[in-house]
Amino acid sequence: MTDTEQRASLYEIILRREHPSGSAIRTLDMVVRELGYTQDNLREALAHLEKTPLPPGGERVLSELKLRAWLAGVDNLRTPVPPEELRASLPPLDWAEIGIAIMLGGSALIVFVLGLWVTIRHPVG
């Protein structure tokens, strides 16, 4: 089993078995690629693919995929980004950002302490 087949969705496996032609497989590869860009939201992936040229017969495969996903209720899922990917996508902190955070925190602490001191020294009423 290749890496692409390991990452394939159930719909892709079923459709590949039902439509073994080269154009259908290329179309499904395009769907899998778009799913990576849309965080596994099939509705958005298909909307992007409608704007691109498809291999001959690709429209039929996409319409069948869209119908099956809609019937199963999985056509518009929102998949959150895994924490590992989120951490990997963030740039590392540098000393300037740490210094800014310390200055903001320190100034907020000074404002809080002064506000507390004024409230204790001059009670309302």
The pTM score is 0.47
Q: Which two tokens stand for residue 46?
A: 């298909």
Cβ–Cβ < 8 Å for 46, 62: yes
Q: CA-based diameter of the chain, in Å?
A: 84
CA dihedral sign, ordered 85, 87, 88, 91? positive
pLDDT in tens, 93-107: 899 999 999 999 999
Is pLDDT above 50 for 3?
Answer: no
Q: Work out the average pLDDT over 35-58.
A: 77
Closest among 60, 3, 2, 9 to 34, alpha carbons compared: 9
pLDDT digits (tens, 9 = 90+) for 59-92: 887 787 777 777 777 666 666 667 787 788 788 8
